[in-house]
Amino acid sequence: MRMASATHRIPVSQQPPRRINSLLLIVSILLTIGLLMMTSASVEIASSRYGDPFFHLKRQSVFALIGFLLMMVTIHTPMRFWRTVSGYLLLFSFALLLLVLIPGVGKIVNGSARWIDLGLFNLQPSELAKVFIVIYMAAYLERHSYEARDDFIGFLKPLLVVGCAVGLLHFEPDHGAMVILLLTAFCLIFLAGARITLFLPLLMLCLGGIAYIAVMRPYVIERFSSFWNPWAEENVFSGGYQLTQALIAFGRGEWFGVGLGNSIQKLYFLPEAHNDFVLAIIGEELGLLGVGVVVFLFACLVTRGFSIGRQALSQGKCFSAYVAFGVSLLFAGQALINIGVNIGLLPTKGLTLPFLSYGGASLIVCCYMAAILLRIQYENENSEVHENQGSGEW
């Protein structure tokens, strides 16, 4: 019997070759570049502060390992589970956003209470809240797509939920997360079929809110003024300092960079070089070519995410499609804002670059979002098997 079964076995040479998962490849390359360039940007500051030039690399490697383990769990979790618990995820998001505002619980850095100290790393509730709110909105739009398309009240309901989260983010304050969450919510509802005319009153309201924030918080006006003219004498060593140092880094890098590890700006000239401004160090050490590769990889990541969403939509999996669109929009929004800040197209904001910037919460959440996309891709490609066998595992 064994010999008979062996004779019917397909020879290895005739088996179809395994296809490379492009999404997993893109994420792996971004993560590798991130570990390399974050280490290069942080060597000097880690050596002076902690006596170990690879202090940040060791911590980021631990975060990457945690993110990898979370990816494995998420990949093996069916999307119907996230649809079932979407309401609980929303409540958990609001609980975290409220918890960080409690004096003594929220960790205050540079005047903002955005973090909760967990010992190993600082949890940033807004990172989790953005993803969980997207999952809730996807579940809502799947159930009430007709209301969101044709009825203003149905269109307004999910935005009221987002508005409550935006209000809590305003009190931290974390205006960068506010902008990303609002834009993602608007885009999701638009992709669900809502008419553009429904957005006009809300857009006017948002513009009024921005004007109110600018008037009530003087540092916002200062940031905008330093953004418009960072080289002015009154800005170059104050509000425009980070931007001017980042632009100097890009200027030194020219086409091909000064070489890996040879950055001067990371030597205490550019603050947050290993965090919010890691792209400037990439520009200095690897030049325009290196920056172009990073931008291309993010474009491929977002494009692949939307392709997965369209495939799910064509199979009638509206929840998975909206989640894929929402996660892709989160990646796109955060990358675009960070890149815009680094090159001087947008005012300075404390937003990390996904997979590249130093930070445990950011890296772990990015790994989770990538795993969500991988799971949707798996269910799309194995739709019939998944329906017949239940959850299915990769």
> Taking all residues of the chain, what is their mean pLDDT, rounded to a whole number?
84
In the chain, the number of structural domains is: 1
Report if residue 385 sits inside a domain. no
Query: Which range has the top average pLDDT, 178-182, 184-188, 286-290?
Result: 286-290
| 50 CB-near residues (< 8 Å, 6+ apart) | none
Helix (H, G, I), strand (E, B) or coil at 339: helix
Report if residue 391 sits inside a domain. no
Question: DSSP letters along 212-237, please?
Answer: HHHHH-HHHHHHHHHHH-TTSTTTTT
Report if residue 394 sits inside a domain. no
Report if residue 388 sits inside a domain. no
Enclosing domain of residue 71: 22-379
Question: In the prediction, which pLDDT does 350 show?
Answer: 73
Q: Among 320, 328, 367, 388, which Cα is nearest to 73's?
A: 367
pTM listed for this prediction: 0.88
Question: In the prediction, which pLDDT does 297 show?
Answer: 97
Report if residue 53 sits inside a domain. yes
Give the model confidence (pLDDT) of 344-359 as tens digits: 888 877 788 999 999 8
The residue type at 289: L
Question: In the prediction, which pLDDT does 33 show?
Answer: 95
The pLDDT-based confidence of 394 (bands split at 50, 70, 90) is: very low
Helix (H, G, I), strand (E, B) or coil at 76: coil
The residue assigned the tokens 């091909």 is 256
The pLDDT-based confidence of 144 (bands split at 50, 70, 90) is: confident
Report if residue 10 sits inside a domain. no
Q: Which of the two residues, 202 and 184, has the higher pLDDT score?
A: 184
Question: In the prediction, which pLDDT does 284 show?
Answer: 94
Report if residue 181 sits inside a domain. yes
Query: Which range has the top average pLDDT, 18-27, 106-115, 152-161, 319-328?
Result: 319-328
Give the model confidence (pLDDT) of 217-238 as tens digits: 666 666 666 667 777 776 777 7
The residue assigned the tokens 């508005």 is 163
